Amino acid sequence: MKIVGVVASYTLILLTMAFGGALLAYWNVERTTWLTERMNLAHRSYSTHLRLSAHSYQLFKQFGDAIVIGDQDGGVGEREMISRVFDDINEIRAIIAAEIRLAGEQEREELMVMDEIANKINVLIFEFEDLIRTGRSLDPVTRWLRFSDLLDEKIDQEFRSLMEDAITEEGEEADAARRELEKGAQRIRLIAMVFALVASVLTLAVTFYYRARVAVPLKRLMQGVEHMRAGEFNRPIVVTGRDEVGHISHLINQLAADVGKHRQALERQNAMLESAVAERTEELERLLEEAHRAEVNRRRLLAEVSHELKTPLTIIHGESDVALRGHDTSEADYREALCRTREAAAHTSALIDDLLFIARQEGGELNIQHERVDLVAFLKDALSLSPRPVSLDTALSQAIIHGDRLRLRQSVLALLHNAFMHGGKHVAASLQARQDGYRISVEDDGSGLADSDKELVFERFFRGANAAYQHTEGSGLGLPIVRAIARAHGGEAGLHDRHGGGLVVYIDLPRSVSDEANA
């Protein structure tokens, strides 16, 4: 075929492809716009259904609170929530109307479903309001039975089923629209790939036709030699044919491959040596850092223990000197000296026990006697041992964990003692349920802690500014023991500022396995 014929054929094919591609692109844009609008409406409907469900259940909860504990705000909250619910219903109806205009009458069935949901909500609102109005004249048992019937049958069975079916249908519709949009995008990609492939094949065919059989191989051969000269041995020379140029390019490629293999082997060996040296250096630095940290901790612990043991030992030594000072010391003086000596020895023994307890917990050697503990009853019992009345704030009737009752009591009493010593006049305890367990909190209205002290208050023998300058009692082991007990139970201890001034110290304990199953 002549060159003119090849050029004319190639030009005609390109024009045909360009015209067909433009038509397909226009159709795909229109189709994608329609699918995108439908998917947006479906997603809006789905999210609005979810919001309607949330607002409805919040409204029913407010009605339930008004029935159980009384209407505290004169129905203001219920009216506001009713307005939100019907705003959601009106918005859903508007979205469905837009879907009908876009997709046709097959979407009208959704209006019937929404009318059924709206009617059900109206019936429930009427029954709740009727129960609130007549509830005062009913005996508690009858009122509770009517309330339970509303919750179990009208809401949990009928209304929940309607909402879940509507939400599921909207979610499926949104997913269907999304899948259709993805199919359209995939179709566009496929068409683009086909056009690109055809264009590439035609371009390669024409290019191959016009290029010389000798000039191209020679040019590639020269470029390949230049790359190898620059050290790029992984870029082979691509020359086809069985002529001299092809044979020379093959020999050069083999030579470059051999040189490249030797070079890669040397680079791998160097990389392995560098990696080994780096790992060894990092390991040595880590060991040196651990040794330094251990030495610092050892010196600090020795200094702290020496400082804390100095006072009781001085008392023991002083009382012994007083008792042995003269021959005319009375029996009462001897007994008083022995009592003080015994108190100092007991303080020293308690201090050592606390240090051993913390050390065993940090070493993972602490034994915890696990038993079933109801935190509600446990806290009431522990607070009864407090020297000052302390209130318990909790909405729980039962909170079951498995733990060491004596150690937990020790930690709660330590928190109370800390609040009495360093807090204000108001001390209160609370128990709250968390996602993975329960939180015991003790709060006070004292002066609180500085931010720098909050990071150190759980360290052994640390005492904050208010404790160091206002009180002489305490060894600085109370909160470290609380954290050790909490961590031994798989929990944690911490603190934060109290709203309005003061401090809140808390213990987080994990929920027991059986309690999680029941929940």
The DSSP annotation for 83-138 comes to HHHHHHHHHHHHHHHHHHHHH-GGGHHHHHHHHHHHHHHHHHHHHHHHHHHHGGGS
Sign of CA dihedral 499, 504, 510, 516: negative
Cross-strand pairs, 442: 429, 505
Closest Cα to residue 211, out of 240, 235, 237?
A: 240
Residue-level pLDDT at 361: 53
Would you state the structure tokens that stand for residue 189, as one six-digit string? 């990609």
Using the 3D structure, point to which of 318, 336, 366 is the last residue of a domain.
366
20 plus 100 within the same structural domain: yes
pLDDT digits (tens, 9 = 90+) for 56-107: 888 878 877 777 776 667 778 778 888 888 888 888 888 888 888 877 776 7
CA distances from 115 to 14, 41, 118 (A): 57, 19, 5
Q: Please give the tally of structural domains in the chain.
A: 3
Closest by CA position to 239, among listed 247, 228, 231:
247
173-209 pLDDT, tens digit per residue, is 778 778 887 887 787 788 878 877 887 887 777 677 6
In a domain, 218, yes or no: no
For helices 478-488 and 331-362, give the axis angle rounded to 10 degrees: 40
Low-confidence residues in the chain, pLDDT < 70: 1-7, 10, 70-72, 106, 135-139, 143, 153, 206, 209-215, 233, 240-241, 243-245, 293-331, 333-334, 337, 340, 342-367, 455-456, 460-477, 512-519
Give yes or no: residues 430 and 391 share one domain: yes
Residue 502 gets which letter from DSSP?
S
Q: How far apart are alpha carbons 485 and 462 in whole angstroms? A: 18
Cα separation of 55 and 85, whole Å?
Answer: 6
Contacts (Cβ under 8 Å, ≥6 apart) of 59: 78, 81, 82, 84, 85, 125
Alpha-helical (H) ranges within 363-394 are 375-384
User: Structure tokens of 282?
Assistant: 């990092």
Which tokens is 55 given? 């607002």
In a domain? residue 292: yes
Q: How far apart are the first and last CA of the chain?
A: 83
Would 441 be classed as within a structural domain?
A: yes
pLDDT of residue 209: 62
Query: In sequence order, which residues have a C-beta less than 8 Å from that of residue 238 and are 6 or more positions away?
Result: 220
Give pLDDT, residue 432.
Answer: 92
d(CA 45, CA 11): 50
Q: Give the pLDDT confidence score for residue 467 in this predicted structure.
A: 46
Number of Cβ atoms within 10 Å of the Cβ of 448: 22
Q: b/e for 30-66, b at 16 or more Cβ within 10 A?
A: eeeeebeebbebbbbbbebbebbbebbeebbebbbeb
**Which structure tokens are listed for 322?**
């007083």
- Tokens in use for 461? 């023998």
Pull the structure tokens for residue 468.
């160091």
Determine contact, residues 245/221, Cβ cutoff 8 Å: yes
**What pLDDT shows up at residue 463?**
54
Instruction: Indicate the residue type of 112.
Output: M
Region for residue 104 given its phi and psi (left: phi exceeds 0; alpha: psi -120 to 50; beta: otherwise): left
Among the candidates 330, 346, 366, a domain finishes at 366
Out of 317, 345, 366, pick the residue that ends a domain.
Answer: 366
Separation of alpha carbons 383 and 441, rounded Å: 12
What amino acid occupies position 484? A
Q: Is 122 a member of any domain?
A: yes
What DSSP state is assigned to residue 435? Answer: T
- Angle of helix 108-134 relative to helix 140-149, nearest 10 degrees, comes to 170
**Beta partners for residue 374, in sequence order:** 400
If we measure between CA atoms, which residue out of 49, 77, 50 comes closest to residue 63?
77
Q: Are residue 337 and residue 380 in the same domain, yes or no?
A: no
What 3-state DSSP class applies to 11? helix
In a shared domain, residues 326 and 257: yes
CATH code: domain of residue 313:
1.10.287.130
CA gap 55, 331 in Å, rounded? 80
* Residue 404 maps to a domain: yes
Q: Is the dihedral of CA 400, 404, 406, 409 positive or negative?
A: negative
Q: What is the pLDDT of residue 433?
A: 92
386 plus 244 within the same structural domain: no
In a domain, 215, yes or no: no
Model confidence, pTM: 0.37
Residue 213 belongs to a domain: no
Whether the Cβ atoms of residue 504 and residue 440 lie closer than 8 Å to each other: no
> Could you tell me the sign of the dihedral formed by the alpha carbons of 395, 401, 403, 405, in that order?
positive
376 and 256 part of one domain:
no
Same structural domain for residues 121 and 266?
no
How much is the pLDDT for 394?
A: 92
The domain of 306 spans 224-366
Phi, psi of 517 (to 5 degrees): -65, -40
- For residues 411 and 361, membership in a common domain is answered with no
Query: Given this model, what pLDDT does residue 358 score?
Result: 61
Same domain for 514 and 440, yes or no, is yes
Which CATH number covers residue 464?
3.30.565.10
Residue 33 near residue 62 (C-beta atoms within 8 A)? no
pLDDT of residue 471: 42
Does residue 217 lie within any of the structural domains?
Answer: no
Per-position b or e across 214-224, b if 16+ CB within 10 A of its CB:
eebbeebbeeb
344 and 384 assigned to the same domain: no
| Whether 26 and 85 share a structural domain | yes
317 and 382 inside one domain: no
Q: Residue 136 and residue 65: Cα distance in Å, rounded?
A: 14
